[in-house]
Amino acid sequence: MQGNRDNPQGGSRPSGPPGQFRGVTLWAVFILVSLVLVTVIADRMGSRARLSMDEFKRELENNNVEELTIQTDRMIGRLREVQGKGQSREFEVEWPPGAMDSAFTEYLLQHCRGRVRTDNNSGVLLQILGQLVPWVLVLAIVWFFLFRQLRGFGGGPGGMLGSFGRSRHRVTTREHTHITFADVAGIDEAKEEVTEIIEFLKNPKRFQRLGGRIPRGVLLVGEPGCGKTLLAKAIAGEADVPFFSISGSDFVEMFVGVGASRVRDLFKQAKDNAPCIIFLDEIDAVGRRRGAGFSSGGHDEREQTLNAILVEMDGFDSSDQVIVIAATNRADVLDPALIRPGRFDRQVYVPLPDVKGRLEILKVHARKIKMGTDVDLSRLARGTPLFSGADLAAIINEAALLATMANKDFVEMADLEEARDKVRWGRAKKSRVIDEKERVATAWHEAGHALTQCLLPHADPLHKVSIIPRGPYLGASFSLPEKDRTSYSSRWIQATLRILCAGRIAEEMACGEVNTGASADIRQVTDMARKMVTEWGMSERVGFLYFGTDPQRQSMWGDLPGGHDYSPETARLIDEEVRGIVDAAVGDARRLLTENRDKLERIAHALLKYETLDASEVKRLIAGEPLDRPTLDDLLDAADGQRGPTAVPTARKIDAPAEPDFGAGPLPQPG
């Protein structure tokens, strides 16, 4: 689409009809003039007291007339004082035309001590016009400064009033984005599935030759940060067509009917600029299932917007080269009429990247970063399971920032690992002052996790363990999965349960009491054990039955209380099975740590000295080998000794220190 003079970026400005704005202005002028006339007449007529001729003569003889104006058919005057509090000082006296004669005029001049003057009807008109002029000036100022400013702000003859129902989309082309399939990695299957859309936009006659119909809409479904928006932009970039992008929330306003008007305007402009792509981001904002919850019914603004989208998508024919692409991470809440064939014909799932996909994504984002020779992106890809593309991009960017702050010439592997831990767990709080008892409890807690993870054959390999606080946690144990898992075996789940229980048990063995630091582990253990019974069919007593929460029912009714779909006896059986699984995991973890108490102590003491241990060092400690590297005290002494003559850090071996006086640390949060 070509740009215009008013919008050189290629975007479209709304242009409403001039007659609509002129009609609104004329009606506003008419209403204001009518209000002013009514106000002036009411002020002149309703605020004066009507006096009869006898009452007027009485006031005149009492010398109470302060001012008098004689007109053709009436007299208007002002009294010096009034009898009642609610009466007005202004008065008027009417008589038939021609009743005024010279005798009566002499009578007035003789008895009226105030100012007397004569006037005709033209004077009344001039007074009315004199009071009307200020209102006319106010109206002119309002029209000039308000309506004309709004007209200019609206970007066209329609102004803001005319453009309120215009679409607020953004139009970009390949020249502005420079995004193609080369910039999209880790979702090869999704790219292959949308390739035919690109071919249709480039060569529609190829599909029309055999009578085939290209899908009118494509729904991209996936977790946040998986690259749905990037994939849609890449489709437009590969096809070299305009890209109309708008969010679902941009349709909905406080005024009923605005969303539907914007939908119609968006599709009209898209048809005028075909071939093109319409991208509706976060479509679940307007495309939720109708009739769910406690909405206001068919007149709800969101439902009217959804109805307009449904009607516009039905209005496409084979000659309209317009493809509608929508993105959401909540496909379960969308209205069935929206995702039926003929509208969004195809749903493309954009998954979290696997190991190979993560490596490709890291390579794409590492193109513009200076990497060191020790950087191993494949190792980083293995250590980032369940990371999205946005998370991986954040890792590369954070690593570059860390290297820049350290005045390095390139990014090293240590920077990438620190950036990964920062993205997942939060920034390391090395300057945080921690109570010694709390620090000791955290060391034993993380040592229990690490030792159990190394001893169980079906657990993920240990990567490193640390007691440096990150985010809300005082320590964490990091694993390095050998492969991505789409399903979980019962052996892996059992090993994970024992690893989670080992932290609390190690604290209890060392300190003699427990604290609240294992709350996250307990929550995870309970959730995993309950899913084993209710969803995964891993309980012999419950059997091959599903007792979990129905996602569709939960999405329709939210979190309303309503009980379960099974009997109280079944609920009691589920609770017994969950407790049995957790008790077995706790017993096995306690037995494993008791049998390897010496190894647990060595790892805990090493954590207190070094704060961070990698997998190779933990394995050496389990084998009983010493660690020969500077401790934290050595590094601090070396930093202070640089000011002295001969301060050089020396390597120390780990010797088991005297058992400290353990106490319950307040709120340790292990990983």
According to CATH, the topology of domain 355-425 is Helicase, Ruva Protein; domain 3 (1.10.8)
Average pLDDT over residues 463-488: 78
3-state SS assignment for residue 359 = helix
**Using 50, 70 and 90 to split pLDDT, how confident is the model at 575?**
very high
Q: Does position 511 have pLDDT exceeding 70, yes or no?
A: yes
Q: Does position 223 have pLDDT exceeding 70, yes or no?
A: yes
Better pLDDT: 177 or 645: 177
Q: pLDDT by residue (tens digit) across 243-256?
A: 888 887 777 665 55
Q: What pLDDT score does 17 carry?
A: 43
Average pLDDT over residues 156-165: 45
Q: Does position 234 have pLDDT exceeding 50, yes or no?
A: yes
Q: What pLDDT score does 395 carry?
A: 93
Level-2 CATH architecture, domain 170-350:
3-Layer(aba) Sandwich (3.40)
Residue appearing with tokens 């400005």? 13
Cβ distance 155 to 4 under 8 Å?
Answer: no
The Cα 159–Cα 151 span in angstroms is: 4
Better pLDDT: 301 or 152: 301
Domain ranges in the chain? 15-163, 170-350, 355-425, 438-641
Q: What pLDDT score does 495 carry?
A: 94
Q: What pLDDT score does 450 carry?
A: 93
Q: Does position 459 have pLDDT exceeding 80, yes or no?
A: yes
Better pLDDT: 448 or 27: 448
Q: What pLDDT score does 161 carry?
A: 42
Average pLDDT over residues 85-99: 66
The Cα 181–Cα 197 span in angstroms is: 13
Q: What pLDDT score does 47 carry?
A: 61
The Cα 440–Cα 433 span in angstroms is: 13
Q: Is 446 a catalytic residue?
A: yes
- pTM for this entry: 0.62
Cβ distance 395 to 417 under 8 Å?
Answer: no
**Using 50, 70 and 90 to split pLDDT, how confident is the model at 318?**
low
Q: Does position 438 have pLDDT exceeding 50, yes or no?
A: yes
Q: Does position 488 have pLDDT exceeding 90, yes or no?
A: no
Q: pLDDT by residue (tens digit) across 106-155?
A: 777 777 766 677 665 545 555 566 666 777 777 777 666 665 544 444 44
**Using 50, 70 and 90 to split pLDDT, how confident is the model at 30?**
low
Q: What pLDDT score does 437 carry?
A: 83
Average pLDDT over residues 75-98: 70
Q: Give the best-scoring range by mean pLDDT among 24-33, 203-212, 273-282.
A: 273-282
The Cα 477–Cα 623 span in angstroms is: 19
Average pLDDT over residues 657-663: 34
Q: What pLDDT score does 65 carry?
A: 80
Q: pLDDT by residue (tens digit) across 404-425?
A: 998 999 999 989 988 888 887 7
Question: Which candidate, 186, 510, 150, 517, places its Cα nearest to that of 350?
Answer: 186
Better pLDDT: 657 or 74: 74
Q: What pLDDT score does 247 carry?
A: 82
Q: What pLDDT score does 585 carry?
A: 95
What is the maximal distance between C-alpha atoms in the chain?
Answer: 136
DSSP of 564-602, one letter per residue? -SS-HHHHHHHHHHHHHHHHHHHHHHHHHHHHTHHHHHH
Q: Does position 396 have pLDDT exceeding 90, yes or no?
A: yes
The Cα 593–Cα 510 span in angstroms is: 11
Cβ distance 358 to 395 under 8 Å?
Answer: no
Better pLDDT: 553 or 17: 553
Q: Which of 31-35, 367-371, 446-450, 577-581 has the lowest mean pLDDT?
A: 31-35
Better pLDDT: 5 or 586: 586
Alpha-carbon distances, residue 447 vs 45, 597, 608, 644, 652 (angstroms): 95, 11, 10, 37, 21
Cβ distance 284 to 328 under 8 Å?
Answer: yes
According to CATH, the topology of domain 15-163 is 3.30.720
Percent of the chain with pLDDT over 70: 68
Q: Which of 75-84, 535-544, 633-642 has the lowest mean pLDDT?
A: 633-642
Average pLDDT over residues 76-98: 69
Q: What pLDDT score does 314 carry?
A: 80
DSSP state of 12: -
Q: What pLDDT score does 556 carry?
A: 47
Q: What pLDDT score does 522 carry?
A: 94
Structure tokens at 267: 């599709």
* Omega before 157 within 30 of 0, i.e. cis: no
Q: Does position 483 have pLDDT exceeding 90, yes or no?
A: no
Q: Taking the domain 438-641, which CATH number applies?
A: 1.20.58.760
Average pLDDT over residues 47-71: 78
Q: Does position 280 have pLDDT exceeding 50, yes or no?
A: yes
Q: What pLDDT score does 185 carry?
A: 86
- Of 446, 577, 611, 617, which residue is the catalytic one? 446
Average pLDDT over residues 493-522: 90
Q: What pLDDT score does 455 carry?
A: 93
The Cα 189–Cα 347 span in angstroms is: 13
Q: Which residues of 520-553 are buried (b: 16+ CB within 10 A; e: fewer)?
A: ebeeebeebbbebbbebebbeebeeeebeeeeee
Q: What pLDDT score does 384 carry?
A: 86
Mean per-residue pLDDT over the chain, rounded: 76
Q: What pLDDT score does 184 carry?
A: 87
**Using 50, 70 and 90 to split pLDDT, how confident is the model at 638?**
low
Q: Which of 86-95, 214-223, 490-499 has the lowest mean pLDDT?
A: 86-95
Q: pLDDT by residue (tens digit) across 332-390?
A: 888 888 888 888 888 889 988 888 899 999 999 998 899 988 899 988 888 888 888 89
Q: Does position 464 have pLDDT exceeding 60, yes or no?
A: yes
Q: pLDDT by residue (tens digit) across 523-564?
A: 999 999 999 999 999 999 999 999 887 655 554 444 444 456
Q: What pLDDT score does 403 carry?
A: 92
Q: Does position 220 have pLDDT exceeding 70, yes or no?
A: yes
The Cα 296–Cα 300 span in angstroms is: 6
Q: What pLDDT score does 265 carry?
A: 83
**Cβ atoms within 10 A of the Cβ of 26, count?**
10
Please provide residue 326's backbone torsions phi and psi, each rounded to the nearest 5 degrees.
-125, 155
Q: What pLDDT score does 20 carry?
A: 45
**Using 50, 70 and 90 to split pLDDT, how confident is the model at 241?**
confident
Q: What pLDDT score does 34 carry?
A: 64
Q: What pLDDT score does 153 carry?
A: 41
The Cα 164–Cα 158 span in angstroms is: 9
Q: What pLDDT score does 553 carry?
A: 54
Cβ distance 268 to 293 under 8 Å?
Answer: no
